[in-house]
Structure 1
Amino acid sequence: MSRSITRPVVAGLAAGLLTVPALPTVAATSGLRVVPACTTSLTTARPVTAAPWPQRRYDPTRLAPLATGAGVTVAVVDSGVDRAHPQLAERVLTGTDLLDLGGDGSRDCAGHGTGVASIIAAAPRPGVAFHGLAPDARILPVRVSEQQVVQGRESGRTVTADEFARAIRWAVDHDADVINLSVVLYADDPEVRSAVRYAVDRDVVLVAAAGNLHDSGDPQPFPAGYDGVIGVGAIGADGVRATFSQTGPYVDLVAPGSEVLTAAPGAGHHQVEGTSYAAPFVAATAALLRGYRPELTAAQVAERIIATADPAPGVGQGGGYGAGVLNPYRAVTETGGSRAAGPRQVTALADDRADPATLARQARRESARDRALLVGVVVGMTAATVVLLALVLPRGARRRWRPAGEA
């Protein structure tokens, strides 16, 4: 039985920097794919010296003495990752290209994957305040798209859902510890679902963008909607959910995704937005944890990241914040939040989860009530004993009661 072909879309939005003509359809000769050159050069970007707001919020220097992601491989299934950028040099492994066969994943015509990878692993450089949250992690590029946002619409080639599923499996089979999926399908595809299960069963942490179609009714996004995948929404510098960021039970937590600074292909930086760029902050945190606490399973890593999220304005009000705002420092340093049990499914947290502060207040009130009841019982029993003794002792004296054994 045939089924319609579903193609994934990138989950990033333009920030006025990637407006280019639409890309042509790939030519085919004798059944072979012809690998085209990038038809349009991306706008040259200058290096940015000022610290971007996510950098100020998370301050990776606090984490550096503890964890840097060293020894951890993060697969970036995206538009490719340009290893020529000075901050990504020596951090990008040989990957694969499922869009143009024969490539190693280092070709990026859109700049999307390069930006995502830089949030994870861009190296510190003198005079540049921006660098990745897990700067010693290795990036494994898996190229599946060259989409760009043109006048508010995605334009460009991308693989089919079956090939996207193959990309996930390829990353797992090439030793990825974490897989970042800043790509969205708006249909439940059995091959992709099977590939996600394949990764979960092999103890890989999966992180996916929650999508940018809030104004279009929040259609169900995949892979974020699958069990075992951490779904990530976006916030701005004010901590409030970005207007485009989707809401639903598939949002496990939120991270910076508006006015985010990333590396641009070649050199320099540019500002972008979208849940695409929120997901790699979470993937980087997973890399920090996998390096710092290698005994934790993928499920335990996910649990810890979600359990240590900071409260957000919309938590408990269906505001699309999931458990709250990502806090990498708490995720790495707090000792609780993980059990020694075996792997299990990680399900999305509902948006109506109670505010942790409210739960704490309720616990304190219940404790105070229990103490009051205990004091009341003790006081009541003491009073009853006094009354009883007042009645019994005079009678005993009159009847000359003596302790047992006394002459």
Structure 2
Amino acid sequence: MSRYGPRPFFPGLAAALLAASVTAAPAVVTDPTAVTVALAAPVAAGMAPNCATPPALARSVSAVPWPQQRYAPERLHPLATGAGVTVAVVDSGVDRRHPQLAGRVLGGTDLLDPGGDGTRDCVGHGTGVASIIAAVPHDGSGLRGLAPAARILPVRVSEQQVVDGQGTGRTVAPDDFARAIRWAVDNNADVVNLSVVLYADHTAVRDAVGYALARDVVVVAAVGNLHGNGDPRPYPAAYEGVLGVGAIGADGVRADFSQVGSYVDLVAPGSDVLMAAPGQGHHRAEGTSYATPFVAATAALLREYHPELSAEEVAGRLKSTADPAPGNGYGAGVLNPYRAITETTGGAVARSAPVIALADDRPDPALVAQQNRRADARQRAVLLATVGGVVVVGIVLVALVVPRGARRRWRPADPN
């Protein structure tokens, strides 16, 4: 099993490195702005077109993975499947050829190789993340996404991997990462999954996150895998309004690599996670990268089942319905999708300060349309409540007046 996790951007390098995880024996971090950590070696089947190195062969796994045993998608899917919801996966691309992602992956964009549509994945990280969200049932596979009817919008920003413990491959710079977030928002993402980490605060990225939140988009980000290296502050997870996600194992205990800090909002499965590999087959990996899509998928379920909730209210509900956790470092607790959907409690949670977004005097058409839909829904609800109240009052009056009239031998007036 490989350890994948959030790909970090590290400022101070000639090209900011974007990596999915630390390896099993991570380098000692003395200055988190100058560390070279990269993706674990890919273990996936097939090769996306034009990839320099073909991934290793991956076989299908029929056993039901432990996160699905915990979350029982068969209980969730009669209620919600993520239908009509778009989840942007800003990552290494998403290979739509995998049979469990067939029909679920939209045309996206490629900020590494202009002209691409985001569906080339040379390392498997983004394909794995997308499958945790939206993998459809398939014969011979135990994998099933939490939101199998959600649409995946791929935004490709990296093809980095680990070879002999060293990160190799291209990544985008933080400014382009910020552009990726804005592109996802402008192309109708309802939820943005960021299995990435920057260990420095970049103004462009902060503003891009604010842009997303201001347009009612749920932003979910990994908190990083450097707990053993002093828990350097991770972004975008540390920005206000972003759901920061840590990792637990099958025993419900926080994974030893999962970072701890005020930026952890809740935790989800992130050890021994089964996921789709490029082309076909499956592999297992660990990292907060793979805990993040469980939360993003649940946000998609909520956006379908409770369309009246704002992004802030969705985040609040996810935290308020989390299961209690055994100690510190778990945020509000362990993600519980069923409780998030079905419980009547859980709303917006106040944050200490707003995210400052770039000024934009032009009204956003998607946001206006969404606000209009929610206003219409509220008006219909008020109308139905009013009509129902009138009917109830009428029934009460009839129940009181008719018996009294009968006792007084009331008869209708003779029309003649």
Is TM more than 0.5 here? yes
Q: Specify the alignment match of 1:337 in structure 2.
A: 346
Q: Specify the alignment match of 2:115 in structure 1.
A: 102
Q: Specify the alignment match of 1:291 in structure 2.
A: 304
Q: Specify the alignment match of 1:19 in structure 2.
A: 41
- Give me the whole-angstrom Cα distance separating, in 2, the residues matched to 1:42 and 1:15: 20
Taking every aligned residue pair, what percent have the same amino acid on both sides?
71
Structure with higher Rg: it is: 1
Q: Specify the alignment match of 2:19 in structure 1.
A: 10
Contact 1:13-1:149 at 8 Å conserved across structures: no
Contact 1:12-1:277 at 8 Å conserved across structures: no
- Supply the AA of the counterpart residue of 1:101: P
- Give me the whole-angstrom Cα distance separating, in 2, the residues matched to 1:10 and 1:294: 34
Q: Specify the alignment match of 2:85 in structure 1.
A: 72
- Supply the AA of the counterpart residue of 1:333: T
- Give me the whole-angstrom Cα distance separating, in 2, the residues matched to 1:339 and 1:10: 33
- Give me the whole-angstrom Cα distance separating, in 2, the residues matched to 1:14 and 1:208: 20
Counterpart of 1:252 (choices 260, 265, 268) is 265
SS where residue 166 of structure 1 aligns? helix
Deviation of 1:228 after TM superposition, in Å, equals: 1.1
Closer, same or farther in 2 for the Cα pair 1:14/1:62, shift >3 Å? farther
- Give me the whole-angstrom Cα distance separating, in 1, the residues matched to 2:337 and 2:168: 34
Deviation of 1:339 after TM superposition, in Å, equals: 5.5
Contact 1:10-1:182 at 8 Å conserved across structures: no
Deviation of 1:149 after TM superposition, in Å, equals: 2.9
Task: Report the number of matched residues.
Answer: 325
Counterpart of 2:337 (choices 328, 332, 338) is 328
Counterpart of 1:274 (choices 261, 270, 287) is 287
Contact 1:68-1:133 at 8 Å conserved across structures: yes
- Unmatched segments (≥5 aa) in structure 2: 1-10, 26-38, 43-48, 356-416
Deviation of 1:55 after TM superposition, in Å, equals: 0.8
State whether structure 2 residue 75 is matched by structure 1 residue 59. no
Matches within 5 A, 1:8-157: 9-12=18-21, 19=41, 37-157=50-170
For normalisation by structure 2, the TM-score amounts to: 0.74
The CA RMSD measured in Å over matched residues stands at: 2.4
Contact 1:78-1:181 at 8 Å conserved across structures: yes
Contact 1:74-1:283 at 8 Å conserved across structures: yes
Closer, same or farther in 2 for the Cα pair 1:64/1:150, shift >3 Å? same
Deviation of 1:150 after TM superposition, in Å, equals: 3.1
Q: Specify the alignment match of 1:357 in structure 2.
A: none
Please list the CA deviations of residues 252-310 of structure 1 after superposition, one character each: whole Å capped at 9, or x if unmatched. Answer: 01100010000000000000110000000000000000000000000000000011110
Contact 1:144-1:158 at 8 Å conserved across structures: yes
Q: Specify the alignment match of 2:274 in structure 1.
A: 261
- Give me the whole-angstrom Cα distance separating, in 2, the residues matched to 1:311 and 1:259: 22
- Give me the whole-angstrom Cα distance separating, in 1, the residues matched to 2:166 and 2:289: 15
- Give me the whole-angstrom Cα distance separating, in 2, the residues matched to 1:213 and 1:332: 32
Closer, same or farther in 2 for the Cα pair 1:161/1:110, shift >3 Å? same
Moved more, 71-80 or 128-137: 128-137
Please list the CA deviations of residues 343-380 of structure 1 after superposition, one character each: whole Å capped at 9, or x if unmatched. Answer: x959xxxxxxxxxxxxxxxxxxxxxxxxxxxxxxxxxx
SS where residue 268 of structure 2 aligns? strand
- Unmatched segments (≥5 aa) in structure 1: 21-35, 347-407
Deviation of 1:7 after TM superposition, in Å, equals: 2.5
Q: Specify the alignment match of 2:381 in structure 1.
A: none
SS where residue 155 of structure 2 aligns? strand
- Give me the whole-angstrom Cα distance separating, in 2, the residues matched to 1:245 and 1:167: 25
Deviation of 1:11 after TM superposition, in Å, equals: 3.7
For normalisation by structure 1, the TM-score amounts to: 0.76
- Give me the whole-angstrom Cα distance separating, in 2, the residues matched to 1:232 and 1:275: 7
Closer, same or farther in 2 for the Cα pair 1:339/1:313, shift >3 Å? closer
